[in-house]
Amino acid sequence: MSALVRPTDNRMIAGVCAALARRFGTTPTTMRVIFLASCLLPGPQFLLYLALWVFLPSEKSHGRQAW
């Protein structure tokens, strides 16, 4: 499994769904449909999306870190 970073390709808004799709081995479109369907249910889905947007590093900045 790959690291959880927001990719620079396949982005629609912030790349959160693309990052989750890459991590779980599915397509970004499938992950977006799952997210939109989950928004019909009660819960903090939108807040979780915003938190992932803020806390997940971008692929550009993640590549610059020296480990």
Q: What is the pLDDT of residues 43-67, one digit of tens each?
A: 899 899 999 999 988 887 665 554 4
Q: What is the pLDDT of residues 2-58, one digit of tens each?
A: 678 888 887 888 889 999 999 999 999 999 999 999 989 998 998 999 999 999 888
Task: Determine contact, residues 47/39, Cβ cutoff 8 Å.
Answer: no
Residue 3: the pLDDT is: 74
The pTM of this model reads 0.78
CA distance 53 to 6: 8
Q: How far is CA 1 from CA 4, 18, 25, 35, in A?
A: 9, 14, 8, 21
What are the structural domain ranges in the chain? 1-57
